[in-house]
Amino acid sequence: MKAKKTTRDAPRKKAIEKPPLGKYKEKRNFEKTPEPGPLVSDASGSSFVIQEHHARSHHFDFRLEIDGVLVSWAVPKGIPQDTMAKRLAVHVEDHPLEYGKFEGTIPKGNYGAGTVAIWDKGTWEPMEIDWRKEFAKGTLKFHLKGERLNGPYLLARMKEEPNWMLKMLEPSTHPQPTFKAESEKPQYVAPQLARVVSTVPGGKDIIHELKFDGYRLIIVKHKAALTIYTRNGHDWTEKFSELAKHLNAVSKKDFILDGEAVVWDEKGRTSFSDLQAALKGGTKEISFVAFDLLHFDGHNLRSFPLTERQKRLAELVSEDEGVVRRSTVWPADMGPTLYKQACKLGLEGIISKKLSGAYRSGDRRDWTKSKCRLRQEFVVCGYTPPKSSLPAFSSLVLGTYENGKLIPRGKVGTGFSEKDRKDYLKMFKPLETKKPNFETDGEVIWLKPKLVAEVEFAEITRDGSVRQASFVALREDKPAEQVRMDVVQTATVDDKGFEVAGITITHSDRMVYPDDEVSKLEVAKYYERVGELMLPFVANRPLAILRAPSGMSGDMFFQKSFTTHVPDGVHQKKLTDGDEIFYIKDVKGLVSLAQFGAIEFHPWGS
C-alpha cells in the first residue's frame, strides 16, 4: 500500500522556499512536528486566522496574509472585542499560508509544544491605500471579516520590536469597506440569536427593534420555489401556505429572509395565541415581519455588516402595513424610550443589534434581548390530577435540560381555558409513562419529555422553580432537548446596578466568560444560589482569589490582601507573622468578591 503524502510533502507548482520563512524553518524540526513546512506562496490573498494556542503559556496567535505568508503576532490576553480593550501583541516569525489550516498538537520538546485550535478565520482589508508604507512605519488599520470578529482594528508598534498594540476601533467612525459577496445556492440558514441583558445597550453602533410574539421563520426562495423553515430547519411551508403566496411575490429573484410570522391584535400588538388560532383555521390573517436579508440573487450577504443588509432589505420589502412588511428600526439613542414604551404597552421587550456585525448563525454576541417580563420555554414533564372544579388536570410539571439531564422547574396551573385543559389532556395521554423524569413531591402523571410550553413568571426561586407562573402556549418550533434555562432578568434603561444578596453589582452585562456568554450579574447570582453549599469550604478561612476585572479576555491576577478598599462583607486580619489576610463569613461576602471580579476562590489549608 502506497504511503499517503502529507500536506507539507505535496509538491506545489507555485510555491518555492524563500528567505521570509527562514526563522520559521530554523525553530522547527519537521520530522518531529506536524506543522506545515516553510513554503512561501506567490498567490495574492487576504486571509486572516486566529489560533488559540495552549502552550507553556496560553495565548492567541493572530495572523494576517501579506505577500504569500502569514505575518504573525502572539496575543497573550486574547483578541479585543470592544473598543475599550488594548492588547499587547508580540510580533513573531512569519508563518506559511498552510499554517492557517493547522489544528493539532505540537509534541513535547518542540518549539511551541501544546495544542493549537482555530479560533476565528476569514478575510481582512486595509483601510488606507498606502497601507504598506504605514505598516513599515509601524501602523496598520484594517477591517476583519471573520466568523467571530467583524470590525475595524489597529495594530501599532510600541517603542520597539517585537511589542505591538492590538486595538478594536470604533465601528461608527471607521465604516466597513464593501467586501465582495460570495456566490452560493440559497438554502436554509440557522438563525442568529440574541442574549438576554440587564441594561438596554447604548453606543453609536446599535439599532433597536421591538421583540415580536410569533414564530421565527427563515424564508428561502430558489428558482421560483419558496420554502418556509422554522428556526430549527423544519419545513412549515404547507402550514403557512397562504403567507407563502405573499412571500413569493416579494421578488422574482432568489432570496433568504429572516423574520417572524405574527398576528396583529386590535391594538396593533402581536399575539402568539391569536397566531396559533390562525394556524388552526382561525379568521385572522397571518403576517410576516422581515428584519434581515441573508441572500439575494445568488449572493451570500451574511458577511456584510447589518447596515448594508438593512439597506438592501429596504429595497426589497416596504415598511408599510402589508402582509409582508419590514421591521421598524430605532436609532441607538432611542433605546431607553423604546424599551419603556414597549413595557407600558405590555410587549415582551426590545431587540438591539450591532450595526457593524455580520450575520452569524447560532451566535448571541451582537444581538441582545431587553425583556419587559420574564418568559421562556420549559419542557412539559408531567401533570398533576385535577383539583376541585378544574377539568382534565390541575397544573403542568416543568423542567429544563442541564448537561443532558432534566432539572425540575416547578409547576404552572394558570393561563388555561377549560377547553385548553381538555384538548391538552388528549395530547398528553399517548405520552404518559411510569418512569419519573426527576424527583418531586405529590402525585404526578409523568409524560415523555416531548412537549415544550412557553410560560410567563414573576421570578425563579432559590431552588430553581418558577413563581407566579402563567401558561402562554405550547410551542412546536423548538425540540424539547434544546430547552435550557435562560438568563432570568428583566432590563433597566441604565446600568445603575442590581442588588444580589445585598451587594450592588455594577457593569452587570460585562462578559466574564465571553465564549459561554456568561455576564457578571449571572456570576454573582450563581454564587448567591450555591453560596450555602460553598461556605463550609471557604468561610472563616484565609483566602486568595483570582481576579478578572474585565472578564476572562482581560488581565487576570491573584490577590491575597487588600491594601486600600476592602469590599463590603469581606474582613481583614493581621497574622502574628505580620501577614495581612482576608476572609468572608457569609454569602454576602462571597457575592461581594464576585462583584470585585473574583472568578476563583483559593482557601488556605488552615
Cell 420554502, located at residue: 227
- Cα(150)–Cα(353) distance, integer angstroms: 13
- Among residues 27, 32, 86, 211, the one annotated as catalytic is 211
Q: What is the DSSP annotation of 321-374?
A: SSSEEEPP-EEGGGHHHHHHHHHHTT--EEEEEETTPPP-TT--SSEEEEESSE
For the chain, how many residues are written?
A: 606
Phi and psi, residue 32, nearest 5°? -115, -15
Q: 298, 254 in Cβ contact below 8 A? A: yes
CA separation (Å) from 447 to 69, 394, 450? 59, 15, 8
- Any residues with CB less than 8 A from the CB of 439 and at least 6 apart, and which? 408
Point out which residues pair with 105 in neighbouring strands: 115
User: Locate cell 465571553: which residue?
Assistant: 514
User: 570: Cβ–Cβ under 8 A, 6 or more apart, which residues?
Assistant: 562, 582, 583, 584, 589, 592, 593
How many whole angstroms from its chain centre is CA 71? 29
Print the SS3 string covering 305-322: CHHHHHHHHHHHCCCCCC
| DSSP 8-state secondary structure symbol assigned to residue 578 | S
The residues with which 33 forms a beta bridge, in sequence order, are none
Whether 211 sits among the annotated catalytic residues: the reply is yes
How does DSSP assign 42-87, residue by residue? -----EEEEEEEESSSEEEEEEEEETTEEEEEEETT----STT-EE
Sign of the CA dihedral with 273 first, then 488, 405, and 442 last: negative
- Name the percent of the chain in helix, strand, coil, to the closest 5: 20, 35, 45
CB distance 149 to 81 below 8 Å? yes
Rounded CA separation 184/296 (Å): 10
What CA–CA distances, in Å, run from 333 to 153, 314, 337, 570? 25, 22, 8, 39
Burial class for 20, CB neighbours closer than 10 Å (0-12, 13-18, 19+)? middle
Query: Is the separation of the CB atoms in 247 and 256 below 8 Å?
Result: no
Q: Are strands 367-371 and 330-331 parallel, antiparallel or unpaired?
A: unpaired
6 closest CA partner among 128, 131, 102 = 102
d(CA 8, CA 385) in angstroms, rounded, equals 68
Q: Which residues are catalytic?
A: 211
